[in-house]
A and B are shown apart, each in its own frame.
Chain A
Amino acid sequence: MIIKTHKSENINSSELVAYLKKAPGALYLLAFMAIALTIWTPNFFSLNNLTNVALQVSVLSIVALGMTIVILTEGIELSLGPVLGLCGVSAGLLVLAGYPLLIAILVSMCIGALFGVLNGALIAIVGLPPFIVTLGSFGIAQSFAIVLTGGDSVVGLPEYFRWFNDGLFLSLPIPILTIITIFFITWILLYRTKFGRYIFAIGGNRLALKLAGANVNFYHIGAYIFAGLLTAIAAFIMTARNNSAHPTIGVGLEFDAIAAVILGGTSFEKGVGGIAGTIVGALAIGVLRNGLNLIGVGTEWQVAIIGVVILTAVGIDSLRKN
């Protein structure tokens, strides 16, 4: 009763306030930086630079979308970074060896899925902590990638490979088109299918779902496979952008992705969160990097500054929630 009358009194303002209270920290961070950078440098708010930002965050966004699904199950996926390196290197080597691109894509997807199965099975069936399982496979994936190339980059890729980054379709760059497509697929999976409902339920109360007779392990492992597959796709964009594949190129990306997910308002507990926030989180990290470059902050300082900003944003979020 009370809630009803309260609602009818001032629908517009209270709904807006409620939304702003719930909105993830990334939204505020992004808004603040966009305004500050627009005032600070004339170059920021140009179509050219914004497209540049979007291209830069494409790889991060795709990996972060997979990471969101995993974190919603109260999990974590640290091996995504090195798996991206491994997928890129494998694809590069296969293409150089004269195999058709389709084979390279399939093999990369299989590698991504395989690590998903390995991690997912150890976490869902054996019941090991996700952090330690994926840290172990982090080392394994990294070693495989380095051993495959002997530590060198794979260079001299054929011209058509660059299409994954430079190509246009309906006048949209391929990486941006890929994010949009993957976002919609993930959205449908998460909010319109049994898979999605189970993902939220695994994070919320895994035991209850299991007792209800659902095949929990299948869906739990599925979350990790999905993240692996998205990472394999991201590997192609990354390789095309650098015009080479480097075995350790992805190391550190998994943490950027986790930061994007957390900044985007997805919680480590109880399956709370969503994928729209993750995109905002990834954009916030991208704009932060881009902004630091535009103002001319050296790379050596950027590392420390990004650490401070992410910690501050996450800290404010956590204090707001409690």
Chain B
Amino acid sequence: MHSINKTHLLKYSKENFFILSRILSILILIIFLSIVSPQFLGWNNILNIFRQASIQFLISAGLTLVIITAGIDLAVGAILGLAACLSASLIVSGHLGLGIVAGLISGLFAGALNGLLVAFGRITPFIATYGVLWIAGGIGYVFMKGEVLHSFPPGFRFIGTGILFGIPVTILIAGIILVILHLLLHKTVFGRYIYAIGGNPIAARLSGISVKSKLFYVYTLSGLLSSFAALVIMARVNSVDSSIGEELLLPAIAAVCLGGASLFGGVGGIAGTAIGALILALVINGMNLLGVPSFWQSGVMGAIILGAVLADQYGSGRSLIKS
């Protein structure tokens, strides 16, 4: 009897490894940080963490869909940067609406280019998106000529700094995107196709799914979401230069890995990425509170990526399936 209970418990913890391990790491981080830093549990700091997590989530949201299809989008940061540069220059010169639309369209086009290359050009996703990273980054660089644009109108800054019903607008936006993408993934045929393509592309094709067009849409959507994240970041930090997207790739992938998505495809979800973004925000906030030099940030991101995939590999017994 005792042994049966034990195996049941083991099975339960394996099946729910993701949620158990993430709750545990969030709890450990909260307990540790509230002990070592008195500011940690202040209302302002908590809001700050959630704002940071919301922005991180918006950057990683499109990437999550791409990774579920067993692909990768290295151009996330570069597309974000390009969109920010284009819309910032238009917004600063007084064309608010045009600036927002131009930013979103540039992200849409860059994402569509990724989709064309991956789906129809049959180029390995990370080579294709790396090429687009250079193209988007290069255009942003040429466009800005080393300038820094700042001081956006208050109406625009509302999406980054405003408060609605007592909740920061950034958090509301991230919440809305989270719900929309969650419904897209789990309540629509398109969402089921995305999982099918990531799980087994050949089976998906044989069962009549047009893999190419679905992949094209996923990369395009990822580009659009990157440019949307660009607008929120611009509104929050109130300044843009051509290097704004450069450092965003590693944390973006780290959040998705922490969110339990598998790089092999077919596994993961958008809610997981939200949890991943929250853990990442806690870690970064903790490093800031403890005064850890920013030099360590990329190392910590790297260690988090390795730790998350390693834990999932062993914890959920995934290694038995793919080796």
What residues make up the interface of A, taking CB atoms closer than 8 Å to B? Answer: 76, 122, 126-129, 131-133, 135-144, 146-147, 150-151, 255, 258-259, 262, 268, 300-308, 310-311, 314-315, 318-319, 322
Return the chain A residue nearest B293 by Cβ: A147
Min C-beta distance of B15 to chain A, whole Å:
20
Q: Taking A304-B139, A318-B123 as given, write out 6 further A-B residue pairs in contact, using a Cβ cutoff of 8 Å, ordered by the A residue number.
A: A129-B309, A131-B72, A136-B306, A151-B295, A303-B137, A315-B123
A268 to B264, CA, bound (A): 15
Take A122-B306, A129-B264, A140-B302 as given contacts and tell me if A315 and B121 are in contact as well, using a CB distance cutoff of 8 Å.
yes
Interface residues in B141-157 by Cβ distance below 8 A to A read: 141-142, 145
Chain A nearest CB from B141 CB (Å) reads 5
Which residues of B does A touch, CB under 8 Å? Answer: 72, 117, 121-124, 126-128, 130-135, 137-139, 141-142, 145, 250, 253, 257, 263-264, 293, 295-303, 305-306, 309-310, 313-314, 319, 322-323
C-alpha gap A311/B123 in the complex (Å): 9
Do residues A139 and B123 form an inter-chain contact, with CB atoms below 8 A? no
Contact A139 B319 (CB under 8 A): no
Instruction: Report B-chain residues with C-beta under 8 Å of the C-beta of A143.
Output: 295-300, 302
- B122 and A139 contact, CB distance less than 8 A: no
Cβ of A119 to closest chain B Cβ, rounded Å: 10
Cβ–Cβ contact A311 & B117, under 8 A:
yes
Report the separation of the CA atoms of residues A147 and B292 in the bound assembly, to the nearest whole angstrom.
Answer: 11
> A139 and B301 in contact (CB under 8 A), knowing A132-B309, A314-B123?
yes
CB-CB nearest in chain B for A315: B121
Pick the contact of A140: B135, B293, B299 (CB < 8 A): B299
User: Chain A's interface: helix, strand, loop or mixed, by majority?
Assistant: helix
Q: Contacts A132-B309, A304-B139: A140 and B303 contacting too (C-beta < 8 A)?
A: yes
Inside 8 A of B128's CB, which chain A residues have their CB? Answer: 311, 314
Q: How far is the CA of A133 from the CA of B298 in the complex (A)?
A: 14
* CB pair A139 B302 closer than 8 Å: yes
Q: Is the CB of B142 within 8 A of A139?
A: no
Query: Chain A contacts of B141 at CB under 8 A?
Result: 300, 303-304
Which residues of B are found within 8 Å of A268, using beta-carbon distances? 124
Smallest beta-carbon distance B300→chain A, Å:
7
Q: How far is the CB of B147 from chain A (nearest CB, A)?
A: 12
Q: Which residues of B contact A314 (CB under 8 A)?
A: 123, 127-128, 131
One of B122, B142, B300, B301 near A301 (C-beta < 8 A): B142
CB closest chain-B residue, reference A267: B124
A135 touches B305 (CB 8 A): yes
**Contacts of A128 on B, CB cut-off 8 Å?**
309-310, 313
Most buried by B among A126, A255, A303: A303
Query: A17 to nearest B CB, angstroms?
Result: 24
Task: Choose from B72, B250, B296 the contact partner of A147 (Cβ within 8 Å).
Answer: B296
Q: Are A308 and B298 in touch, CB under 8 angstroms? A: no
CA distance in complex: A304, B75 (Å): 13
A307 touches B306 (CB 8 A): no
Supposing A129-B264, A315-B123 touch, asked if A307 and B135 sit within 8 A by C-beta, the answer is yes
Distance of A138 Cα from B303 Cα, bound (Å): 10
Contact A319 B296 (CB under 8 A): no
Q: Which of A138, A139, A255 contacts B130 (CB 8 A)?
A: A255
Least CB distance from B317 to A in Å reads: 12
A131–B126 contact, CB under 8 A?
yes
Complex Cα–Cα for A305 and B145 (A):
17
Beta-carbon contact of B257 and A259 below 8 Å: no
Report chain A residues within 8 Å CB of B299. Answer: 139-140, 142-144, 147
Best-surrounded residue of B145, B301, B319 (most CB of chain A within 10 A): B301
Given contacts A255-B130, A301-B138, contact A122 B263 (CB under 8 A): no
* B323 nearest CB neighbor, chain A only: A127
A-B contact pairs, 25 of them (CB 8 A): A76-B126, A126-B313, A127-B322, A129-B264, A136-B302, A137-B302, A138-B298, A139-B305, A140-B303, A142-B298, A142-B302, A146-B298, A150-B295, A258-B130, A259-B127, A304-B135, A304-B137, A304-B139, A306-B134, A311-B123, A311-B128, A311-B131, A311-B132, A314-B127, A318-B122
